[in-house]
Amino acid sequence: MCLGSIAFCVIGGWLVNDHPSERAVIVGWAALAFSSLAGVMWAFQLIWPSRLLLDGDGLAFHYLFATFRRRWINVARIEVVQIRSTRFVKLIAKDGGKDLLLGGAWPVSASELFSLMESYLTRYGKTNGA
For 72-129, what is each residue's pLDDT tens digit?
988 888 898 888 888 888 888 888 778 888 776 677 888 888 898 898 888 887 754 4
pLDDT tens, residue by residue, 32-81: 899 888 888 888 878 878 788 888 888 888 877 788 888 898 888 889 88
What pTM value is reported for the model? Answer: 0.60
pLDDT value of residue 128: 45
Segments making up each domain of the chain, as ranges? 2-47, 51-124
Average pLDDT of span 15-37: 87
Radius of gyration of the chain (CA): 21
pLDDT value of residue 111: 85
pLDDT value of residue 104: 64
Q: Cite the DSSP H helix spans in the chain.
A: 2-18, 22-47, 110-124
Tell which CATH architecture fits domain 51-124.
Answer: Roll (2.30)
- What are the C-alpha distances in Å from 93 to residues 22, 100, 112? 50, 8, 21
pLDDT value of residue 49: 80
In contact, 109 and 87? CB cutoff 8 Å: yes
